[in-house]
Amino acid sequence: MPTLKFEINKIRKDFPTLNQTINGCPLVYLDSAATSQKPQSVIDTITEFYTSQNANVHRGRHTLSEQATYSYEQVRDKTARFFNVLSKEIVWTKGATEAINLVANGLKKRLDESHTIIISPLEHHANIVPWQLVSQQTGAKLVSLPLNNNGTLNIQQCCEFIKETKPALLAITQASNTLGNITDLKPLIVAAKEVNSLVLVDGAQGALHLKPDLRELNCDFYVCSSHKMLGPTGLGVLYGQYEELNTLDIYQSGGEMIDKVYLTHSTYRPAPAKFETGTPNISGVLGFGAALDYLNELDHVQIQQYEQELFSYAAQKLVKVDGITIFSNLSDNIGTLCFNFKDEHPYDLATLLDGYGVAVRSGHHCTQPLMTHLGLNGTLRASFSFYNTYKDVDIFIDSLKKCIALLD
């Protein structure tokens, strides 16, 4: 049981979705890698905006517009402080996927047949397919870091691979969305910088659990999603070291990102504005601001310690269940258990678990190359967050055993 004093009961009350029954059973939500639950403060902030603050941002001279603009830009400042970067280095996108596409599009004109892009077999499809398209459109070679048979990276081997390959770009995940394995990024980034490579880090899974200091990490680009950080869907964050960010080609065009428009040509504003065309997701940004406020009120060290203790407790219980194979690295993980039961289809087990109110993810988790590497068609994934409890784990394991009994 936990050794850390953590006000989990108070935290649970802040998340209304968690306090319900599914199929007559208390909800055990173990799908935070897909999307996190939202505290009431986030929901209230969005409701309040549409109830009494609704106005478009920027250029408006009336009170509502000026208030909305101020609140909107304050969240950019909060986000920059959260990651220890500059406000002008934060770009709002629709999600982490669009943020990666924005960078990929912005780099295309710099790349040709003489260049190489490195990814890894661990990546979410969102950090593979954009680079495949860039490779096809520019002739740049797309290669992958070597991966151990068990889905872990040999960091020394990877560093040597980077130095030998001398890529134009390394695109790498901070933590696997399927396995939960944490990537030891610092030596990889150091190796990339030694050969003048740009580095993009997919932080969709890592941002909440690891809260990276991006200035210290020294990557060129970092992407993450609001909805995986207690915020609303439809909003992503792109961080870029300003010089690199501002030299990217524009991604979309239209209003807001322009400086001057003539009938035959236009000029554009500097970053971040040149990447934020059209009316933005104002309520989403404000909701994300409320999520950051919520996180900032908590002690991140305590959150991380609680999550790790809870994960260890769950792993120790799961490993004792006969017929279960765990694919996650249990020693360096954000809190995700990827597993299968014998040769049973993961969809069947996930469906049975739902009957007991246990929500897990099943399938290839948008990581088909990783599944191929592991020799799998799919898995089950139970992903934990700081609002989960030891009781959640106990119900999950007990329900899993009941489901297995039905299958045997």
- Domain positions in the chain: 8-30+299-407, 44-296
CA-nearest of 182, 181, 186, 212 to 199 is 186
Model pLDDT, residue 408: 76
Contact by Cβ (8 Å): 407, 348: yes
Q: How far is CA 145 from CA 72, 119, 148, 173, 338, in A?
A: 39, 6, 10, 12, 22
Contacts of 375 (CB under 8 A, 6+ apart): none
CA-nearest of 236, 291, 289, 235 to 76 is 289
Does the pTM exceed 0.95?
Answer: yes
* Alpha carbons within 13 A on the beta-carbon side of 140: 28
pLDDT truncated to tens, each residue of the chain (408 aa)?
Answer: 333 356 999 999 999 999 999 999 999 999 999 999 999 999 999 999 999 999 999 988 999 999 999 999 999 999 999 999 999 999 999 999 999 999 999 999 999 999 999 999 999 999 999 999 999 999 999 999 999 999 999 999 999 999 999 999 999 999 999 999 999 999 999 999 999 999 999 999 999 999 999 999 999 999 999 999 999 999 999 999 999 999 999 999 998 899 999 999 999 999 999 999 999 999 999 999 999 999 999 999 999 999 999 999 999 999 999 999 999 999 999 999 999 999 999 999 999 999 999 999 999 999 999 999 999 999 999 999 999 999 999 999 999 999 999 987
CATH of domain 44-296: 3.40.640.10
Q: Which CATH class is domain 8-30+299-407?
A: alpha beta
Tell me the C-alpha distance between 346 and 280, whole Å: 39
Q: Which two tokens stand for residue 216?
A: 């210290």
Give the Cβ contact number of residue 259 at 10 Å: 11
Of 158, 159, 338, 366, which one is the catalytic site residue? 366
Secondary-structure percent of the chain, ordered helix, strand, coil, rounded to 5: 45, 15, 40
Give the Cβ contact number of residue 397 at 10 Å: 18
Model pLDDT, residue 3: 38
Task: Specify which residues 4 forms β-bridges with.
Answer: none
Q: Which two tokens stand for residue 210?
A: 């690891």
162: DSSP letter: H
Model pLDDT, residue 6: 63
Residue 224 designated active-site: no
Angle between helices 185-194 and 155-165 (to 10 degrees): 20
CA-nearest of 249, 292, 242 to 272 is 242
Model pLDDT, residue 4: 38
Q: Which H/E stretch holds residue 19?
A: none
Tell me the C-alpha distance between 327 and 340, whole Å: 8
CA-nearest of 107, 124, 89, 113 to 206 is 124
What is the rounded radius of gyration, in angstroms, for the C-alpha atoms of the chain?
Answer: 22
Contact by Cβ (8 Å): 382, 314: yes
Phi, psi dihedral angles at 334 (to 5 degrees): -80, -15
Q: Please count the residues of the chain.
A: 408
